[in-house]
Amino acid sequence: MHRAFTDEPVSDEDLTQLVYAAGRAPVARPDIRHLVVVTNPRLMRTVRQACPGFINNAPALIAVCSDLEAAERAVGRRGREVVARLDAGAAAGYLTLAAPALGLGVCIVTSWTESAVQEILELPPHIRPEVLVAIGHPVSPSPPAIRRFEPAVHREQFGTPWTHR
């Protein structure tokens, strides 16, 4: 994750590539996923002011959102409560993986309230923001990573450590 970016704007060409990548992620039904691409500096400023987790200076963001009515129609309550969120996470992951090839860095931001983001992006009530992905050209050299995550990996069933045979 990057938190320090240059002032260089992210081009529409690059954002289109990232939108494409996010769109390739699994989704229960095509009409569930909505992506809001933000580049307006004034809107970005409002996001930084109202979203406490947005402690970066990225010039752009993509908000991955879900149509809850479409999710519930397609997959029922589980679609609304679980699947839509999983699919949104996948979309954020896909565009995160696509960014470095474009010379871009991202920061996935989850510490904000839905109500604040709905107001800023003028989302209808049935469109839930799931994850904000800050995007920009990272400063070079990048500051060292705060921490490295190594998941616990289990073989066959929980409790038996995965070891390479």
Interaction between residue 42 and another protein (CB under 8 A)? yes
Residue bearing tokens 């190594």: 150
Q: How many other C-beta atoms are found inside a 10 Å radius of the C-beta of residue 94?
A: 19
Tokens of 36: 């809001």
**Does residue 139 touch another protein according to CB under 8 A?**
no
**Three state DSSP letters for 81-149:** HHHHHHHHHHHHHHHHHHHHHHCCEEEEECCCCHHHHHHHHCCCCCEEEEEEEEEECECCCCCCCCCCC
Which residue, 51 or 64, is less far from another protein as judged by CB? 51
What is the closest distance, in whole angstroms, from the C-beta atom of residue 118 to another protein in the complex? 13
Q: Which of 146, 150, 151, 164 binds another protein (CB under 8 A)?
A: 146
Name the residue nearer to another protein (CB basis): 5 or 112.
112
Per CB under 8 A, the list member of 111, 126, 154, 162 interacting with another protein is 111
Please state, in angstroms and as integers, the Cα–Cα distance from residue 14 to each residue in 21, 30, 36, 117, 127, following that order: 11, 22, 15, 24, 25
> What tokens appear for 98 in the block?
């696509």
Q: Could you give the string, one character per residue 51-70, with x where binding to another protein holds by CB under 8 A and - elsewhere?
A: xx--x---------------
Nearest residue (CB) to another protein, 45 versus 155: 45
- Cβ atoms within 10 Å, residue 93: 16
Does 50 participate in binding another protein (rule CB under 8 A)? yes
Under rule CB under 8 A, residue 40 binds another protein: no
Does position 1 interact with another protein (CB under 8 A)? The reply is no
List residues near another protein by CB under 8 A: 41-42, 45, 49-52, 55, 111-113, 115-116, 146-147
